[in-house]
Structure 1
Amino acid sequence: MTVAKTLLDQPRRQVQVFFHHVESGLRPSSHELASKIQVAQAVAALIGGNYEGELETQRPPKGCLYLVPSDTLPSLASAHRLGVHTRDDLFGGVVPFPFVASKVISHPLLSHSTSAPAGWSAGFAEQVKSAVLPGYSVFSIDDARLASARLLAQGSVRLKDPGGVGGVGQWVVSSGAELEALLKEIANEALWRRGLVLERNLREVVTHSVGQVQVGEWLATYHGVQHTTPNHTRAAVYGGSELVVVRGGFDALMQLPLESATRLAVEQAMRYHAAALAAFGGMFMSRSNYDVAQGLDESGQWRSGVLEQSWRIGGASGAEIAALRAFAADPQLQRVRASTCERYGGTSAVPAGAWVLFDGIDERVGRITKYAMATDHVHA
């Protein structure tokens, strides 16, 4: 039974909203977990439900359930076991095979005879070819060498562990010797099972965020940019997102007077989104976000392409929910500017009216402040 049907047929208070940790990697750190729980609580308020804490999968609740998973649900069967059957049942997404949620789907194999996971879609890579950067996905060390040789002929190559998040698990090589040294360091059976992405490396990069989110009756779509901030080691890490959010779907977003580079980023994200739904049967999502990189390759050619997809709660979700809250509170509101901000160390000033997602000491990254807000309201 979906949330949408339940909201019509039963008292809203019967909707039970749970956070669910997906066993796909490290458990979130304290600041990540606290932020996601804040989002889950806000989602519960938007759909008129009760936030019930973390789901106990050994004793699934009865009645109507709405889930906020920590990651994309990795199969239709696992989703169904949790009571998730449509996008009205969760904040995030469901894929038919685990690899579909990773970066590995974005690029083609070297040839049709190259090994790939069950469920691989050669057609998807072909459909999104004009929406991504030049690159390959490989599942063996020999294919990594061959793909690297092809790409190195035109400049440096970025290698990505397809399960990495926030820039973790990425390396740049400029020669075959650098590749061999890197493979000695990172290659193992687990890596080749999940694959490795090789793609054209860019400089002077601007990363656009394009996405859509639906919670209950509230639907919003956006474009924006990411920015970085220094962490405690002075490394540049994700520092937040600035989004322009419209009420409605991609058609409403495309009606805005977008700059040409931004319009291209939105078009590429839309192409990727539609191709994924067509290629991987059964998948669905209520939250989608696409990172689109625009910059120069080593020849000086300007390029634009989707780097990765996110069909799960993410770094921009605070801004997404802040926008949905604004739309829910004001039926005439058509557009807002929403943002998330992450700052490390010391005491960070939080703007008046901001929604504080976390402000304290995290066991992995130290002192961090995270908040979200919606401003610049535009009415019909």
Structure 2
Amino acid sequence: MVLIHTPAGTRFCATHERVAHIGIAKRIAAIKGGCFGGQFDATFSYSGRPYFLPTDTIIGIDVAHELGIFAEDDLFGGVVPHGFVGTKAITHGLISEGARSPASWSAEFAMDVVSIVPRGYTAFCIEDAHAAIECLLREGPVRVKPVKATGGRGQSIIRRASEFDGIVEKLDHAQLSQFGLVLEEDIAAPITYSVGQIRLDGLVASYYGVQILARDNFGHTAYGGSDLSVVRGDFDDLVGVRDPSDEVRIAIDQAQRYDAAAKRHFPEIIASRRNYDIICGTSTTGQRCCGVLEQSWRIGGATPAEITALEAFAADSGLKSVEVSSVEAYGTCPPKPANAIIYFEGVDQQVGVITKYAHLRNA
């Protein structure tokens, strides 16, 4: 039985996301040959061992064990030992050795990945954030990134230190001290690639692809979907089955190195869904650059496309690769392909009119 689980303290999910989660859970249940059991109820006694679809990364190994999650076969998503590990906060180091950080902070991880991420810092207090901003502004604009936000929401670009004051007023200081805030060089003319892997019911699929940007109903830039090339097998099979461009090869290599570093420094992590966003563009110094922005060990925007690929592999044991897309269209949606799998189509109180679907482009 597949159950949706909402971890304590999870971010707010809009209606279109909650409806999409149900659709994803039902399709996962079909792949597993089981049924969808709705929202997990801690007071209910389930027959058999449930399979979980968490709506966010589960924080705490003990919390996962209490649910019956001990390995990647028990969930679609991930478990991390500490709150900051499940966010983009781990991508960057601190501004100084004396900077504030949680007791479990790993300076070693940040040092391990510094050559494959954009220039930036993570701060856990306002004073350290100011110091990081002043340092980064010497070479160009700075992007301020709340670590719990998704799809690029809530980010700001500042060109003067004084502009940070308005952002400070809106920060939740309790969340800042627990999860951190990312200050990062602003990459110009960016392309964001996604490299990931999903494991479900004996199936292993890895992919690379590009994120599509859209204008939401308020005129802001938002996540508009992903076009993915998916292969049956591990990360190494991506280059063997597909023939990516040189820049995509760099993205795949950086994602693998980031993934390996996470396993070394946080061996407690459980993740059946691993996704890494890699940005390529022009750095503040005018150089072409690529770097890992963040990891996602949870259900994400590309998941409808991931599930579509898994369904294709489950239906045809000889199939080696597929091309799939996940789409999030705001306002009036253009004509959908005939094989579109609709996850939401209608009006969401938070974001307005939106259509979410996935489709198989070709095999």
Q: TM-score, normalised by structure 2?
A: 0.96
Q: Percent same amino acid at aligned positions?
A: 42
The answer on 1:30 being equivalent to 2:15 is yes
In 2, distance between residues paired with 1:182 and 1:370?
A: 31
1:60-139 pair list within 5 angstroms: 60-139=45-124
Partner SS state of residue 361, structure 2: strand
Q: CA deviation at 1:371?
A: 0.7
Aligned residue among 261, 285, 293 for 1:307: 293
Deviation of 1:113 after TM superposition, in Å, equals: 2.8
Quick one: structure 1 residues 110 and 371, their matched pair in 2 at CA, closer, same or farther if it must change by over 3 Å? same
Map Cα deviations across residues 114-157 of structure 1 (whole Å, 9 max, x no partner): 22113211111011111110111111222112111211111111
The 5 Å alignment of 1:244-259 reads 244-255=229-240, 256-259=242-245
Residues 83 and 178 in structure 2, CA contact (< 8 A), matched pair in contact too: no
Aligned partner of 2:219 in structure 1 is: 234
The code of the aligned residue for 1:253 comes to: L
SS for the counterpart of 2:217 is coil
Q: Does 1:323 align with 2:323?
A: no
CA contact (8 A) 1:21 1:27 kept: no
SS in 1 for 2:59: coil
Describe the superposition over 1:205-243 as per-residue Cα deviations: whole angstroms up to 9, x where unpaired: 000011000111111000000111222122221110000
Change (3 A) 1:234 1:189: same
Give CA-to-partner distance per residue, 1:141-185, whole Å, 9 cap, x none: 221121112111111111111111111221111122223343344
Question: 1:27-55 CA deviation, whole Å, 9 max, x = no partner?
Answer: 42221011111111111111111111111
Change in CA separation of 1:231 and 1:198 when aligned onto 2, cut-off 3 Å? same
Counterpart residue type for residue 91 of structure 1: F
Q: Does 1:53 align with 2:38?
A: yes
- Larger displacement relative to structure 2 (284-293 or 108-117): 108-117
Using the TM superposition, give the Cα deviation of residue 362 of structure 1 relative to its aligned residue in structure 2, in angstroms.
1.3
Counterpart residue type for residue 131 of structure 1: I
> Counterpart in 1 of 2:324?
338
Q: CA RMSD in A?
A: 1.5
Q: CA deviation at 1:57?
A: 1.7
Residue 118 of structure 1 aligns with an amino acid whose one-letter code is A
Alignment partner of 1:192: what SS?
helix
Aligned residue pairs: how many?
362
1:286 equivalent to 2:272? Answer: yes
1:69 and 1:185 map into 2 onto residues whose CA distance is 28
Q: Residue type of the partner of 2:192?
A: T
- 2:337 alignment counterpart: 351
Give per-residue Cα distances to partners, 1:301-354, cap 9 Å, x unaligned.
Answer: 111111111100110000000001001111111111010111122354221011
| 2:253 maps to 1:264 | no
Task: Give the aligned residue type for 1:205.
Answer: P
Write the deviation string for residues 222-267 of structure 1: whole angstroms up to 9, x where unpaired: 0000111222122221110000000000010132322111001111
Aligned-partner Cα distance in 1 for 2:190–2:45:
45
Please state how far the C-alpha of 1:59 moved relative to its aligned partner: 2.2
SS in structure 2 at match of 1:323: helix
With over 3 angstroms needed to count, the CA separation of the structure-2 counterparts of 1:107 and 1:353, relative to structure 1, is same
Residue number in structure 2 paired with 1:3: none
Unaligned runs of 5+ in 1: 1-15
CA 1:309–1:60: 2 relative to 1, 3 Å? farther
Instruction: Indicate if the aligned counterparts of 1:277 and 1:284 stay in contact, CA closer than 8 A.
Output: no
Q: Do residues 168 (structure 1) and 157 (structure 2) align?
A: no
Give, in whole Å, the separation in 2 of the partners of 1:295 and 1:347: 29
Task: Give the TM-score normalised by the residue count of structure 1.
Answer: 0.92
Tell me the equivalent position of 1:213: 198
Tell me which amino acid in the other structure corresponds to 1:272: Y
Structure 2: distance between partners of 1:328 and 1:33: 26
- List gaps (5 residues or longer) in structure 2: none
Matched, 1:198 2:183: yes
Matched residue SS, 1:143:
helix
Q: In structure 2, do the counterparts of structure 1 residues 186 and 330 end up closer, same or farther at CA, with 3 Å as the change threshold?
A: same
